[in-house]
Amino acid sequence: MNAELLTQINAFSPDSAAEAKAKALLIRLLAERGDRLFQRESEDIHITVSAMILDPSLQQTLMVFHHIYRSFCWTGGHADGEQDLLAVALREAGEETGAAELYPLSGAILSIDLLPVPAHEKYGKAVAAHKHITITYGLIADTAQKLAIKADENSAVAWLPTDELSTHCSEAHMLPIYDKLLQRMRRMVAEKESCLSALPELLLPWYAAHARPLPWRQDHQPYHVWLSEIMLQQTRVEAVKRYYSRFIASLPDIRALAEAPEDALFKLWEGLGYYSRARNLQRAARQICTQHNGCFPQDYVTIRALPGIGDYTAGAICSICFDQTTPAVDGNVLRLLSRLREDFRCSDLPAIKKEAFHLLQPLYCRNPGHRSELTQGLMEIGATVCLPKGRPHCEICPLQKICLAYRSHSADRLPLRSRKRPRRNEMLTVFLLQLTDGRIAVRRRPAQGLLAAMWELPNLNSMLNDQAALQQAHLWGVQPQAMRAAIQRNHIFTHIEWQMTCYHIICAHAAAGFTWASAQQLEGEIALPSAFRQFLTAAGLA
């Protein structure tokens, strides 16, 4: 028996004698029959799953005209052995209505009902009268999407006004159940709208006691906050700590950043990846120097217009440094809000991110003097407690009592994200060309594109065997003497994965077309992206 489902069943609170009886019967039969109760072979009574589907305004419900019941009714079907009943509800609703976009209003069970099924014929076979223990979930769907009937079960599918169900539903015994479900779904929506109101009073004391002593939190200087936020994009906090401290020591202010040679800037950034971030930092620093006399601007619109600064970074700088009402909404915050509000919509959609900003802004308006702590507290709890990939530490979360996903036992299902396109695979042959005096061949990449203008080891966009690699080395004029090793490595970018074979070749001639860099230059001057530097490490040269 699925432990999560049993938890959901036990958590369900009946509000009528009929529901209490249905829940008690379900628990007893599960103990007696176990998994057989999820199969149709349990002929006298078995589990089915239904869904009450509403539009986002909660004013219309999506129903099907069912052959057996000769009435418009909810969607549903047999569990047929499946114990993730929420998944069954979504599957059946999609199959019966044709709706491609459905999401749960909650992961909690909406209703447990004991319902009669009249004798009927299905697929040419007589089915005796029996009973269903029906477990119902609430779903939301947009009215604009295309609908289609499931011809073997239904003859129509339609959006019906919720206040006209008695006109369309001829099963009188179902009308009170539908009304009950409508009221519960409306109550759930009201809870979603109000659950964040107590967030500051719970979050702020927790942050004061549990904030990590990160180096960029020692003050609220815009340069420090800006730099840390850019570094933290796509990068773990532990990795950023040492980069941040080294960067500040070398480039202590905006003018120093603006005036730094690009190679020196990239050397400070080496290993962090996503080098366009460093370029944009310097572009923005130069713009601040020329347009704002080196002083960081203080209004959101001007900050947002700086190169490399998006809504999140602008919100973070304005709230942390200038106590402004600008929430900073990133993946951590979206994940937290998704769970607090038990929101089963895809959290990475632009509309959801925009909505999150407007949901949080009233909290900022009501907490002047604490907006920095609000922003950093949301970041902190998302990074240390409300973790991704189904691993939230709900047992220590200060927001537990307002978290709807915790109450519904659905936190490990959230957030949902849009399906990403698979990365494109590219095959590369990389050449670690080394002279007998130890110098290594490097060259500049093109000024546009991936790793633009960065240093690289020579490479080709094809996979060569060792003989073809030696032949290429001859063509470059490096006079290859010996091949020491073939090293296999992969490197993952956001949308591309490089599958690389690197040939370590000892050469006799420092041919033109390459820069032959000493170990000291590779260590102190030349910023070599980690996609290539990993081969120096593998060969024992770094």
Catalytic residue numbers? Answer: 229
Position 190: which residue type? A
The angle that helices 331-340 and 350-365 make with each other, rounded to 10 degrees, is 80
Q: Which of 420, 419, 421, 414 is nearest to 345 (CA)?
A: 414
In sequence order, what are the beta bridge partners of 48? Answer: 78, 134
CB 187 within 8 A of CB 94: no
d(CA 274, CA 452): 10
CA distances, 252 to each of 113, 229, 307 (Å): 67, 16, 20
**Residue 314, amino acid:** A
Q: Cα(153)–Cα(71) distance, rounded to whole angstroms?
A: 12
The owner of tokens 């200087």 is 221
> Is residue 443 within 8 Å of residue 514, measured between CB atoms?
yes
Are the C-beta atoms of residues 106 and 404 closer than 8 Å to each other?
Answer: yes
Contact (CB, 8 A) for 535 and 502: yes
Residue 237 tokens read as: 């906090």
Residue with tokens 């939230």: 392
CA atoms of 540 and 67, how far apart (whole Å): 73
What residues pair up with 140 in beta bridges, in sequence order?
54, 103
